[in-house]
A and B are shown apart, each in its own frame.
Chain A
Amino acid sequence: MKYDIRYCGDCAVTVVFPQEISPAVNAAVCGFAARFSQMGLPGISELVPTYSAVTIHFDPILLDMGRLEAAIHEAANAQDAAADAEGETVVVPVVYGGEYGPDLENVCAHNQLTPEEVIAIHSGREYLIYMLGFTPGFPYMGGMDERIATPRLKTPRTAIPAGSVGIAGAQTGVYPIQSPGGWQLIGRTPYKLFDMERAEPFLLKAGQKVVFKPITEEEYKAIERGENA
């Protein structure tokens, strides 16, 4: 896959792959990031994969720009489309509707579907995590079925509880922390996408796939109790 190296000042470069939002390009992005990290170059502080690019933060005092560029070419040219497509799948349990998903009815009304149909469609496929951003741990996911697409609320809520699962246009997402927002809330997961007390603070990462699994309120409470224990 074609790529290009762009400098972002003196302490970062962005490796730009074809500018499109597609699983194939994102797989190349995540595969490149994984191979580049494994090279273990000195002076690299972090890598930020996005839809179709990877930003590499480095210190030019510790790593010569020529050596950095050579390593980028090496990692990019070792592309392996089959291996790159292997993102693991994370199952995220969700209670749909009721107080957990107060806008499920809006999504039903907008698309002339029953709640059972919306839940079946939403939980019936895998969503690719293209990248994280916006707030700590927020996954930008693709692949939602257009049949349940619904515009944002006209008046955004001032506080949406952490774990809320929502729809905005043709996108679906999960709020990792309580924040304001205008997404149509259809359910909530007891899983914590971001927990700074945990050894691994983030549940999800770019390149993984998410499947939502419908659960009951009782199951939600049991998982919540388990996590708090």
Chain B
Amino acid sequence: MIKVISPGLLTTLQDGGRYGYQQFGVPVCGAMDRYSLNLANLLAGNEPDEGALEITFMGPTLEFKTGCAFALCGGRFEARLDGQPVEMARAYSAAPGSVLEIGAVREGFRGYLAVSGGFAIEPVLGSRSTYLKGGFGGVAGRKLQTGDELPLRNPVSWLPFMDQRVYEPDTWRYPLEDRPIRVVLGPQQERFSEAGIETFLSNAYTVTQESDRMGYRLDGKAIEYAEGCDGNIISDGIVMGAVQVPSGKPIIMMADRQTTGGYSKIATVITADLPLLAQKQAGGKLCFEAVSPQEAARIRRKQQGFLRRLEF
């Protein structure tokens, strides 16, 4: 069991997401940065999409009542295990009674703490992800609180090749790279003028304070609609990374998004670049670059192939 001594700003249990229920209006949720979730789980000897703690901006302090191996990936956090510095993207073994203090983020925004064997939390509708607005999944459908006791499913304190369970900076820092976010135009690009699409692709947009797990509201140059069009459409399905433009300014839909929406979508962020988005703080700048769906699929294949080779 892990005891929560202090919960951090927004710490929730998240896995690969709750799929299969969007047709009934249930949001997918899941890790904002699934790449880092996958890395942390692989280091901890788990399946890549196992449920882990998603840590936001300021981390929790946790006491391991049971000995357990763990790993921390994603944004770069200050962390100490019984006072000794903890490196990012390396597996550690926590002895019973040891305390892991995760402090402030130094780079990026979200971290993932995976524990070996996973958490003994019953899945809801097939997933352990927390759906904050709906109040179900994860730990009682909410963020962690002081005093929470998190049961462990199959805690293992020593894993094979323990000292080799570490990733190179090039690998774990991928979501922290500063480069254009690749998008596929559409599904409603015809509702924007050519000049509007050009505006979107050639200007920097700023992540505003009104950004959370549901979506990122961006500020920047207003995007022009095609003649006779506005931001409204008949509601249709929304995927993670969909760039809605309700009234000139983009909103990127993220993990806790509603399943359907009635705003024109100029583009969709490719899945391989969603982790970069997940690591942006308010004030962060975003530039967009268009690729074809086929190119986006090729990039996804490459990233997933890379992840498979990282298994121990």
Contact = CB atoms under 8 A, between A and B. Distances in A.
A135 B239 CA distance: 16
Given A9-B296, A46-B19, A136 B26 contact: yes
Contacts of A131: 235, 260
Interface centre among B234, B241, B300 (most CB of A within 10 A): B234
Given A7-B184, A9-B241, A11-B239, A134 B258 contact: yes
Given A7-B293, A9-B271, A14-B237, 14 more contacts: A8-B184, A8-B239, A20-B234, A47-B23, A48-B22, A50-B237, A51-B235, A52-B234, A52-B236, A55-B237, A60-B297, A132-B24, A134-B260, A196-B136
B24 A205 contact: yes
Interface residues of A, number: 43
Interface string B130-154: 0000101000000000000000000
A58 B24 CA distance: 18
A132 to B, nearest CB: 4
Nearest to B186: A6
Contacts of A46: 19-23
A137 interface: yes
A201 B24 contact: yes
Interface residues of B, number: 43
A8 B268 contact: yes
Interface in A2-29: 6-12, 14, 16, 19-21
Contact of A10 (B233, B234, B236, B300): B300
A8 B260 contact: no
Given A6-B186, A136-B21, A50 B260 contact: yes
A53 B269 contact: no
Closest CB pairs A-B (n = 7): A55-B237, A10-B296, A9-B268, A60-B297, A6-B187, A133-B260, A48-B237
B19 A19 contact: no
Interface of B: 19-26, 124-125, 134, 136, 183-184, 186-188, 233-239, 241-242, 258-260, 265, 268-272, 293-294, 296-297, 299-301, 304
Contact of B23 (A20, A49, A51, A140): A49
Nearest to A9: B268
B124 A50 contact: no
A83 interface: no
A206 interface: yes
A61 interface: yes
Contact of A14 (B22, B124, B187, B301): B187
A66 B272 CA distance: 21
A45 interface: yes
A135 B258 CA distance: 8
A85 interface: no
B25 A10 contact: no
A158 B234 CA distance: 27
7 contacts: A7-B268, A46-B23, A48-B22, A50-B237, A134-B258, A136-B26, A202-B21
A133 B259 contact: yes
A137 B239 CA distance: 18
